[in-house]
């Protein structure tokens, strides 16, 4: 058999690999605290589950339009108006099977040999994977610990060449928990006005998870670049719906027809009952979102304080999402050595920063979407592991 060369250009997401290793260790009787995978440890709120169940009972068993049912796209538009202050046409919304699909479609739409696409590093690993799969050259945007893991707008602008087609951005960010300050976004947008052919994909899947009174700043809210911004958002993180597989994107009018064609070729539509559940999520009570937010905020403070008390660790307080990414250079270990040691010997699953790009060396990611007891127990285990190494 000869499989196509482009398949070898696909990367992966180490969180799933670490999850599999953690499960294998658990199956052998080991106690593992999983701070690796990035998903809420809450159940999907009951009203949402019920809406999905009701949709099935009501007979919503068939295909839907490829871009999603109109009432859901209207609910997305209303939510964007409410939270981002931007009016959009529901016909520019594409309902997709998870936020990931938006980044893959954006890469397929703009990427080909000779094209360049920028992505954050350390960043969600699928950006680079999708870019390289498309045949384009992946150009990293370094994120700096000393800047709260923001990019420098000046540096991003300096990397634009005549081949640059698309810039992928993510704030609040996985894996760093960083939030790009509004001043930096303002600077970037002002500079992008000189590059009218460059599209921007803004991954805002953690937009509801910002802390300390910060407001989420959406790239979609800048009129000067509005017609070339792709917004990536969804339900997975906000509503604890990672397994339902649904997300949404907003596309520039000029490419809506093309992405709808991609959807028809790829998955036909998102499963109908899930779309009804997602509609209830947006239009129903939001108190579960607030409850989850408060829990994440509390754990964020606890984990930051605890990580800073570990010899060799230094952790800036994350501003968003549910990740903390301490600098671990003081341990004398590489990120990968520490990840493997913590998993195999201490029973704590984390993800090496290098899984998120070359700029992730010296860092490891903790997902604090776990109970306070698990977080505190994991810190004990890490201290014991490091003490035993001397
Ligand atoms: N974007 C970022 C930054 C993420 O961290 C994730 C999931 O971890 C996604 C997108 C994908 O979300 P989904 O599970 O909806 O595909």
Query: What pLDDT does residue 168 have?
Result: 98
- CB of 249 closer than 6 angstroms to any ligand 1 atom: no
Exposure pattern of 348-360 as b/e (b: 16+ CB <10 Å)?
bbbbbbbbbbebb
Please state the atom number of ligand 1 nearest to the C-alpha of residue 39: 8
| Residue that terminates a domain, selected from 219, 252, 283 | 283
Q: What is the mean pLDDT of residues 175-187?
A: 97
The answer, yes or no, to whether any atom of ligand 1 lies below 6 A from the CB of 177, is: no
β-sheet bridge partners, residue 13: none
Q: Does ligand 1 have an atom closer than 6 angstroms to the CB of 36? A: no
Give the pLDDT confidence score for residue 132 in this predicted structure.
97
Average pLDDT value for residue range 16-44: 93
Helical ranges in the chain per DSSP H: 14-27, 46-57, 70-84, 99-110, 125-134, 153-158, 182-192, 253-266, 272-283, 287-308, 335-341, 372-389
What is d(CA 52, CA 281) in angstroms, rounded to the nearest whole number? 10
Pair (214, 260) in one structural domain:
yes
Dist. CA 111–CA 131, nearest whole Å: 6
C-beta separation of 365 from 318 below 8 A: no
Q: Is the CB–ligand 1 distance for residue 44 below 6 Å? A: no
- Distance CA(276)–CA(56), nearest Å, equals 9
Give the distance (Å) from ligand 1 centre to CA of residue 146.
25
User: Are both 278 and 291 inside the same structural domain?
Assistant: no
Handedness of CA 74, 42, 233, 287 (dihedral sign): positive
Does 237 share its domain with 134? yes
- Sorted by sequence, the CB contacts under 8 Å of residue 358 that are 6+ apart come out as 121, 140
Q: Is the CB of 235 under 6 A from ligand 1?
A: no
Ligand 1 contact, 234 CB (< 6 A): yes
Q: How far apart are alpha carbons 375 and 369 in whole angstroms? A: 9
How far, in Å, CA of 360 to CA of 154, rounded?
21
Q: Tell me, in angstroms, the distance from the centre of ligand 1 to residue 258's CA.
A: 23
CA pair distance 390, 384, nearest whole angstrom:
10
Distance between Cα 290 and ligand 1 center (Å): 20
Q: Where are the beta strands (DSSP E) in 174-222?
A: 199-203
Distance, CA of 234 to CA of 242 (rounded, Å): 10
Q: CB burial class (10 A; 0-12, 13-18, 19+) of residue 152?
A: middle
- The answer, yes or no, to whether the previous bond of 172 is cis (omega within 30 of 0) is yes
Task: Note the pLDDT tens digit of each residue in 74-109.
Answer: 999 999 999 999 999 999 999 999 999 999 999 999
What does the angle CA 31 – CA 34 – CA 40 come to, to the nearest 5 degrees? 140
Q: pLDDT for 278-318, tens place per residue?
A: 999 999 999 999 999 999 999 999 999 999 999 999 999 99
Please check whether residues 79 and 194 belong to one and the same domain.
yes
* Residue 124 beta carbon below 6 angstroms from any ligand 1 atom: yes
Report pLDDT digits (tens) over 240-283.
999 999 999 999 999 999 999 999 999 999 999 999 999 999 99
Check if the beta carbon of residue 312 is closer than 8 Å to that of residue 328: yes
pLDDT at 390 > cutoff 80: no
Cα-to-centroid distance, 39 and ligand 1 (Å): 9
Q: Can you tell me the distance from the alpha carbon of 371 to that of 299, in angstroms, rounded to the nearest whole number?
A: 8
* 228 contact partners, CB below 8 Å, separation of at least 6: 196, 198, 199, 200, 252
Which pLDDT does position 38 carry in this prediction? Answer: 85
| Same domain? 16 vs 148 | no
CA of 183 relative to ligand 1 center, distance in Å: 25
The average confidence (pLDDT) of the chain is: 96
> Is the same domain home to 346 and 202?
no
The structure tokens listed for 155 are 């540096």
Distance 99 CA to ligand 1 centre (A): 5
CA of 234 to the centre of ligand 1 (A): 8
Q: Which of 140, 190, 198, 196 is nearest to 166 (CA)?
A: 198
Same domain, 379 and 366: yes
* 241 and 375 fall within a common domain: no
Core vs surface per residue 233-257: b (16+ CB within 10 A) or e = bbbbbbbbbbebbbbbbbbbeebbe
pLDDT class of 147 with cuts at 50, 70, 90: very high
Minimal CA–CA distance to 199: which of 253, 134, 244?
253
Q: What is the CATH classification number for the domain harbouring 334? A: 3.90.1150.10
Q: Which domain holds residue 16?
A: 5-44+287-389
**In a domain? residue 56:** no
Kindly state whether residues 109 and 243 are assigned to the same domain: yes
Tokens standing for residue 217:
């700043």
Query: Can you give the pLDDT at residue 197?
Result: 97
pLDDT at 15: 83
**Residue among 97, 174, 321 whose CB has most ligand 1 atoms within 8 A, to mutate:** 174
Ligand 1 pocket test: pick from 100, 233, 325 the residue with the most ligand atoms within 8 Å of its Cβ. Answer: 100
The mean pLDDT of 36-44, rounded to a whole number, is 92
Percent of the chain with pLDDT over 90: 96
Q: Is 100 in the pocket of ligand 1 (CB under 6 A)?
A: yes
Taking the C-alpha atoms of residue 143 and residue 162, their distance in angstroms, rounded to an integer, is 23
Structure tokens at 13: 């997401």
Say if ligand 1 is within 6 A of residue 120 CB: no
Bridge pairing between strands 199-203 and 164-170 = parallel
CATH number at residue 181: 3.40.640.10
As a whole-number percent, the residues of the chain with pLDDT over 70 amount to 100
Does 340 lie in the same domain as 271?
A: no
Answer yes or no: do 261 and 360 share one domain.
no
Q: Which sign does the torsion angle of CA 212, 326, 121, 195 carry? A: positive
With tokens 């604090």, the residue in question is 368
The answer, yes or no, to whether residue 16 has pLDDT greater than 90, is no
Under a CB-based contact definition with an 8 Å cutoff, are residues 111 and 199 in contact?
no
Tell me how far apart the 2 most distant CA atoms of the chain are, in Å. Answer: 63
């Amino acid at each position: 058999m000869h499989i196509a060369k482009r398949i070898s250009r696909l990367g992966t997401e180490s969180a799933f690999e670490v999850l599999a290793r953690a499960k294998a260790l658990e199956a052998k009787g080991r106690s593992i605290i999983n701070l690796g995978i990035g998903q809420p440890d809450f159940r999907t709120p009951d009203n949402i589950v019920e809406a999905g169940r009701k949709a099935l009972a009501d007979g919503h068993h068939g295909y839907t339009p490829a871009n999603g049912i109109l009432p859901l796209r209207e609910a997305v538009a209303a939510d964007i108006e409410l939270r981002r202050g931007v009016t959009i046409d529901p016909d520019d919304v594409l309902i997709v099977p998870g936020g990931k699909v938006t980044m893959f479609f954006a890469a397929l739409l703009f990427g080909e040999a000779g094209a360049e696409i920028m992505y954050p590093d350390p960043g969600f690993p699928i950006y680079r994977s999708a870019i390289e799969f498309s045949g384009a050259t992946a150009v990293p945007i370094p994120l700096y610990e000393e800047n709260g893991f923001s990019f420098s707008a000046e540096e991003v602008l300096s990397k634009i060449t005549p081949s640059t087609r698309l810039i992928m951005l993510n704030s609040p960010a996985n894996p760093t928990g960083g939030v790009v300050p509004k001043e930096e976004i303002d600077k970037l947008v002002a500079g992008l006005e000189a590059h009218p052919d460059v599209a921007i994909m803004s991954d805002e899947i953690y937009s509801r998870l910002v802390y300390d009174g910060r407001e989420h700043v959406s790239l979609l809210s800048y009129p000067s670049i509005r017609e070339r911004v792709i917004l990536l958002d969804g339900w997975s993180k906000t509503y604890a719906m990672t397994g339902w597989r649904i997300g949404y994107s907003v596309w520039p009018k000029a490419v809506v027809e093309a992405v709808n064609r991609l959807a028809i070729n790829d998955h036909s539509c998102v499963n109908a009952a899930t779309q009804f559940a997602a509609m209830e999520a947006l239009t129903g009570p939001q108190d579960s979102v607030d409850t989850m937010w408060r829990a994440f905020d509390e754990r964020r403070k606890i984990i930051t304080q605890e990580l800073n008390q570990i010899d060799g660790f230094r952790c800036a307080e994350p501003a968003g999402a549910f990740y903390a990414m301490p600098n671990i250079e003081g341990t004398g270990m590489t990120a990968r050595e520490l990840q493997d040691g913590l998993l195999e010997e201490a029973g704590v699953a984390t993800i090496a920063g290098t899984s998120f790009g070359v700029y992730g060396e010296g860092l490891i990611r903790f997902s604090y979407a776990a109970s306070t007891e698990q977080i505190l127990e994991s810190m004990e285990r890490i201290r014991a592991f490091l003490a035993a190494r001397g």
